[in-house]
Structures are given as C-alpha cells and as structure tokens.
C-alpha cells in the first residue's frame, strides 16, 4: 500500500488560512492518495478512510477538509521481484 499526502499540486500536506474573529487561522487541508492491491471490500475501504480522517483530525485538520482518493491496483499491474504478483501466491 502506498500512501501519499499532498496539497493537490504535489507539495506535501495542503494548508489553507481562514479568518476567524479577525484572526488568521491555519487549517490543514490534506489530499491523501492510497494506492493498494485490489480486493478490499467497500466496508474495509470505509474503515480505512475513517481511520485516515481521524488521524488528520488529531493533528488539527477539520474532518470535512480531508480528501481521500483510493486507487485499486489490479494484481496484473503490480510486480515484486520481477514477477507480477498474480503469479506469486506469496503476494497474491
């Protein structure tokens, strides 16, 4: 599984500034891209995005600001050690 956090322009975790009561406040607005081998259920994906969102909320991001993109990688498009993982039961 690959996890990439970006601001949408490849510059790391995005930060946005809001004015609240005439004070500028920094708001973390991450875009998280998760690349993983296909096969997870919708329920597993729901649990994953809930956990990722919770982690960002703990460091100050509003839950509604967390964007998550899930990318399922077919087994025939993923290789380890020079072999497609669908050929290897160890990784399949």
pTM score, whole prediction: 0.67
Q: Which of 30, 31, 66, 68 is catalytic?
A: 30
With a cut of 80, say whether residue 1 has pLDDT above it.
no
Number of H helices, E strands in the chain: 1, 7
All structural domains of the chain? 2-87 (3.30.429.10)
Span 40-78, pLDDT tens digits: 999 999 999 999 999 999 988 889 989 999 999 998 898
Look at residue 45 in the predicted model and tell me its pLDDT: 97
30 catalytic per annotation: yes
Please compute the mean of the pLDDT values over residues 4-17 and round it to a whole number: 50
- Select from 18, 16, 44 the least CA-distant residue to 31: 16
Nearest-Å Rg of the Cα atoms of the chain is 17
Asked if 15 contacts 26 with a C-beta cutoff of 8 angstroms, the reply is yes
Look at residue 47 in the predicted model and tell me its pLDDT: 98
Task: For the chain, give the mean pLDDT.
Answer: 77
């Amino acid at each position: 599984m690959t996890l990439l956090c970006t601001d949408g322009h490849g510059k790391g975790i995005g930060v946005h500034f809001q004015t609240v009561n005439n004070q500028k406040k920094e708001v973390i607005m991450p875009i998280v891209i998760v690349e993983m081998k296909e096969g997870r259920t919708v329920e597993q994906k729901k649990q994953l995005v809930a956990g990722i969102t919770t982690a960002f909320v703990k460091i100050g991001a509003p839950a509604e600001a967390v964007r998550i993109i899930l990318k399922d990688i077919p087994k025939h498009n993923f290789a380890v050690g020079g072999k497609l993982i669908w050929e290897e039961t160890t990784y399949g």
